[in-house]
Amino acid sequence: MTLTLLTVITNEPDENKVISASINADGTINLDRAVATDGRGAHGAADGPDPLFSQGAIKVSAKQQVLATVNAGSNTIALFSIDANTPTNIQQIGDVVSSEGEFPISLVFNNDGNRLCVLNGGKVNNVNCYNVDKKNGLSALPNTLRGLGLKQETPPKGPAGTASQLIFSEDGKQLIASVKGSPQTPGFLAVWDVADDGSLSGDFKKVEPAKDGVLPFSLTVIPGKDAVLATDAGLGFDIFDLKENKKSSANKIDGQSATCWSSFSQKTGNFYLTDVGTSTVTEVHVDDDLKGSVVKQYKQDEHSGTIDNEVATIKDKDFLYVLAANATKIDVLQLDGPGNTKKIDSLDISGPTNAAGVNINPNNLQGMAVFVRQ
């Protein structure tokens, strides 16, 4: 019985769809279906893949067995139930809701899965949160609509100067958004305090990267450290020490072009970063003193455009799933241990979907989320 689900979004401007695939016991994947999101996709004012300039466009809560996705062209969010016995069977819950901004790009569930927050990256850029009801859908949570104050347009011009990702801190007491900068003006993290009722502090705390940090993009929690790793398209990766800021650092990846997405493996204890320009996966270790180092790099197919990625544990093994947008495929890498990763599968998503009448444009594909039944 299949108890796992992998999803990406087509993000097409006429109709956005969730593409769902089942994950086999050996980590390989099979396409299953495409489900409309009752909204439209969009592309930022730039060419090529990574249309939303973001990570987290589609997210799941294994605890609540729900999935949420942005509709960037409609300024809405859609919520779906996940059938625990047949996870590729997703059903929309209630109506789509307004993101309360423009060009929604990133979502995050809290640990319990009963709250969802969105990051809007267009002319009206902000964050907003919702209560999650598995019967009725999403409802806006009071005192959570908070502005970012970025000078942007809809669609936004980027990637530099745009919002990127939204996460909760490990303890759930802070909501954190990343904003990419430029060589002249480094980016920053916007950090709001989260009250017990889910409301947010009125203003955010601005946390800048260490010297030489420029474009903080994806955000991945460093377990047990009150810190996050942020990919940095202008350098490699940044480490943000959120507790004291004394151990923050900007770290170079030699030969990198646009390192923008990241995830963490509990099994290896390392982070996996993808570079859309070089089509490379870079494995990074962060030690107990928050010092980061490159462990190994894994070159993927030339010009395949590796963007969103996600780690999942299947049958006590960790696998890295990478959206290779230019090649319209999903690569599967088995993580056998630190510095020991191998590609085991590569699934074409354009052939079967086009044959079924679902339009796939490599420049519009976005997101990566994996559900494993708890």
Residue 224: its pLDDT value, please?
Answer: 97
Structure tokens at 56: 């987290």
Write the pLDDT tens digit of every residue in 84-137.
999 999 999 999 999 999 999 999 999 999 999 999 999 999 999 999 999 999
Residue 2 pLDDT > 60:
no
Backbone angles phi and psi of 192, in degrees to 5: -105, 145
Contacts of 196 (CB under 8 A, 6+ apart): none
The H or E element containing residue 216 is: strand 216-222
pTM comes to 0.98
pLDDT band at 325 (very low <50, low <70, confident <90, very high): very high
The residues with which 371 forms a beta bridge, in sequence order, are 5
Residue 356 pLDDT > 90:
no
Is 191:242 a contact under the CB 8 Å cutoff? Answer: yes
Residue 184 pLDDT > 90:
no
Residue 360 pLDDT > 60:
yes
Rg, Å, the chain Cα set: 19
Residue 268: its pLDDT value, please?
Answer: 98
Backbone angles phi and psi of 188, in degrees to 5: -165, 170
Average pLDDT, the chain: 96
Residue 1: its pLDDT value, please?
Answer: 42
DSSP state of 194: B
Q: What is the DSSP string of 309-361?
A: EEEEEETTEEEEEEEEGGGTEEEEEEEEETTEEEEEEEEE-HHHHHHTT----
Residue 183 pLDDT > 90:
no
